[in-house]
Structure 1
Amino acid sequence: MEPWLHAAANDAALMSDFKMVCGFGGRMSGSGQDDAAMAWAMARAGEAASAVQTLTVPYDAWRCVAASLDLLGPAGRPLACRPLLRSASTPEGGLELDVADAGRGRPEDFERLGEGARGRAVLVRHEYPFTGDHVHRRRKYDMAVEAGAAAFLIANNVPGQGVLSGSSGRPRGVAGIPAAYIEHEGGEALAAACAAGNGRVRIVVRGAEIEDACASVGLAEVAGGRDGVIVISAHMDGHDLGVSALDNGTGVAVALAAFRALAARVGPDTPSLRLCFFCAEEWALTGSARYLAALAPAERARIKFDINLDTVAGDASLTALISDFPALETVVEAAAGASGVPVGIWLPLMPNSDHANFARHGIPALRLLAGFGKPESRVNNILSAGDVPAIIEEAELRQAVAVTCAMADAALRMSDAQLDSLASR
């Protein structure tokens, strides 16, 4: 048995690390929980690393000051809401708007609405985020803005789960529109009111920009004798409805375990192995984007492969999203065979985690993910108050460690030419 495979099955710290990172809370960037968790994780990684450092990168921080949503008219009542991160603010007294129901909020739905979206609050539905035809919340928001909507409401698709948390992706200095998540039941009430011809709401959102905010980037490295770098990455930050156990306590714990297991495999004949933990991932992937952009081109070119771990438990199935790098398919298939864990493959780039920023720089990158195409799985607790440790099974974390180790170990043993060939598209 490969030593790393034994370590994946027997690492005594895996579950305690997972519970520890969840114990810091939801780890929303700017809360202090993210920095405290990063300091702890870097101390843990330092036990296996030859070098550890924590950097900071700027991000467009924001906080909600006040928010409310009221359904007006015959069925009038308050509706639970949660503004998207970086929502635009309403005027002090709020906005009274007619509501246009855009269904799921896909391109064809906005085409159907046409001018009917202009000047109205557009209602769309959240979708399970891990399917081949998923349309991301930020894309729906952008389409609403492009259609001339005055506000954006996105209803949870899961009954009884409450509101969700997520980012609008609006950069600082861009006007945007007020935007909020609402419960499934609130979405049903709004849709019924629209169908009856009296869908109208009052929305209040007041947010505050936070100047000079920085997010942590944690780096731990075992130096090899060759010039390349193999990266295992995960994001530390999360949302504060639950404790971000799925997203991404699972990835952090698995990354630490894989780094421990592989440290001894790095030597004079291998590239270096680098562990990267990012914050501000939930803020439109900003942390990794700014870290990579700030690297000198020659330093960025040293990175030969990124294995990004994000939501790697919550279902027994694993899928590698290989970001339009077809050569990674062979790596994934070999790792599945070596670890004894089946792994599905999705070729198109899905820009839903930090791997996408590596891929945009031409660096072969994949995201390992549980529950792809399985909206009935426990992964559907993502972004909700149900994202807690109790929904995670130890066996799922251990198989993710095994697959991660198998992929990284294969990369460490590749020649420079083989690593370079992974970038072909």
Structure 2
Amino acid sequence: MEPWLHAAAHDAALMSDFETVCSFGGRMSGSGQDDAAMEWAMGRARQAASTAQLLTVPYDGWRCELASLDLLGAAPQPLACRPLLRSASTPAGGLELEVVDAGAGSPDDFARLGAAARGRAVLVRHEYPFTGDHVHRRRKYDMAVEAGAAAFLIANNVPGQGVLSGSSGRPRGGAGIPAMYIDHEGGAALAAACAAGAARVRIVARGSEIDDARASVGIAEIAGGRDGVIVISAHMDGHDLGTSALDNGTGVAAALAAFRALSARVGPDTPSLRLCFFCAEEWALTGSARYLADLAPAERARIKLDINLDTVAGDAALTALISDFPALAPMVQAAAEASGVPVATWLPLMPNSDHANFARHGIPALRLLAGFGKPESRVNNILSAGDVPGIIEEAELRQAVAVTCAMADAALRMSDAQLESLASR
């Protein structure tokens, strides 16, 4: 490993930055914690940046006001629940519904249910989100809406972990149904009742729209002498069950360390290096989508690569999700060799973080991720109350910094023609 890469991996402020960002809390967009953490992070970034600015973009803000779920019977059984962000509300008195079990909630499961989903509450299971064949929560929710379900219940697949937090993806004014996470044990009780032919629930959900909600976007840049921009991105916001340490305190801290380390590598013969921090990522990737959409086409075209850091510790194994850009694979492997950090690649686009919005604009983009295909890893604490700093190992975070620096440095040293070739598909 080159001396500068070794120094980057041993950045003295890395762990204190990680602990500080987690100290703001879960940083859910709209809580104020997200904005406070963004202000702090931009203060850190300004120490290395030529320019920095704090922007805001609109997003569909929402808050939960009331939620309950009861399994009905001779003695109603309250079930632990948490509404998905932007869940539709029930009537004031709630809804009493039969429940149908859709298993994992795959397309085949919904095809099997057919008309049986209509007018009922559909029960599905959460899956570890980082495998090649998982079906995302929002896709399951959309299939339930399309099937005519009256409510959507998604049970945690991990016993003893409690409820999870996540977004329905329902836009403001969009069609939708009440949607709740329940814990593994509640899911088992509902599944047993379904198997016995006696599953009926009362669901109460009330949420309110937040008018004129704005999400923070932080931009810091080190100016190079050539036209073009290499982006390192990470999302600042999270969920409020834990402190969003995995998702995404790890990415924020690693991005800051890489930005510091690379500042000396940017010069008259390189493109510029831009650090982008987004909020409202957990709200269907809205923050980065609005930021990119608002850029002038010529400015957007200057972005040659996005290296998105999201959940980059929690397991020793790293994977780059390269978003249908096969030319990124050799770059990743060269960076892995330079840094001494093994990194696998996954080619198909996985729209599970901000890299997906860059890719949709034709910008080569990857997500660096720990624990791909490893549901037994500590990454399985994502979205839960267990997403706290104590599950993060320092060595894992330091290797993420090293390989991030190696990838970004390789891009900074590419010719214009080489950078353009990364976009080939």
Partner Cα distance (1:177, 1:290) in 2: 25
Q: Which runs of 5+ in 1 are unaligned?
A: none
Q: State the 4+ residue runs in structure 1 displaced beyond 3 angstroms.
A: none
The aligned counterpart of 1:183 is: 183
Structure 1 residue 74, shift from structure 2 partner:
4.1
SS of equivalent residue, structure 2 residue 259: helix
The answer to whether structure 1 residue 18 and structure 2 residue 15 are counterparts is no
The aligned counterpart of 1:31 is: 31
Structure 1 residue 75, shift from structure 2 partner:
6.3
Partner Cα distance (2:413, 2:73) in 1: 67
SS of equivalent residue, structure 1 residue 73: coil
The aligned counterpart of 2:358 is: 358
The aligned counterpart of 1:394 is: 394
The answer to whether structure 1 residue 282 and structure 2 residue 285 are counterparts is no
Matches within 5 A, 1:18-417: 18-74=18-74, 76-417=76-417
Equivalent residues of 1:75, 1:193 under 8 A apart: no
Amino acid at match of 1:354: D
Partner Cα distance (2:265, 2:305) in 1: 16
Partner Cα distance (1:375, 1:305) in 2: 29
Partner Cα distance (1:126, 1:296) in 2: 39
Amino acid at match of 1:286: T
SS of equivalent residue, structure 2 residue 43: helix
Tell me the C-alpha RMSD between the 2 structures: 0.7
Structure 1 residue 2, shift from structure 2 partner:
2.7
Amino acid at match of 2:129: P
Structure 1 residue 6, shift from structure 2 partner:
2.2
Normalised TM-score (structure 2): 0.99
1:197-218 Cα shifts (integer Å, max 9, x gaps): 0000000000000000000000
Partner Cα distance (2:123, 2:6) in 1: 50
Amino acid at match of 2:333: E
SS of equivalent residue, structure 1 residue 204: strand
Amino acid at match of 2:213: A
1:345-385 Cα shifts (integer Å, max 9, x gaps): 00000000000000000000000000000000000000000
Count of aligned pairs: 425
Equivalent residues of 1:8, 1:399 under 8 A apart: no
Partner Cα distance (1:298, 1:73) in 2: 62
Amino acid at match of 2:34: D
Structure 1 residue 76, shift from structure 2 partner:
3.1
Q: Which runs of 5+ in 2 are unaligned?
A: none
SS of equivalent residue, structure 2 residue 250: helix
Partner Cα distance (1:75, 1:106) in 2: 32
The aligned counterpart of 1:7 is: 7
Equivalent residues of 1:65, 1:208 under 8 A apart: yes
Structure 1 residue 226, shift from structure 2 partner:
0.6
Amino acid at match of 1:421: S
Amino acid at match of 1:152: F
Structure 1 residue 175, shift from structure 2 partner:
2.4
Structure 1 residue 8, shift from structure 2 partner:
2.4
Partner Cα distance (2:422, 2:74) in 1: 61
Q: Percent identity?
A: 88
SS of equivalent residue, structure 1 residue 306: strand
Normalised TM-score (structure 1): 0.99
1:22-78 Cα shifts (integer Å, max 9, x gaps): 000000000000000000000000110010100000000000000000000246300
Partner Cα distance (2:291, 2:220) in 1: 14
Structure 1 residue 10, shift from structure 2 partner:
1.9
SS of equivalent residue, structure 1 residue 409: helix
Partner Cα distance (1:390, 1:340) in 2: 26
Structure 1 residue 316, shift from structure 2 partner:
0.3
SS of equivalent residue, structure 1 residue 344: strand
1:119-177 Cα shifts (integer Å, max 9, x gaps): 00000000000000010000000000000000000000000000000000000011200
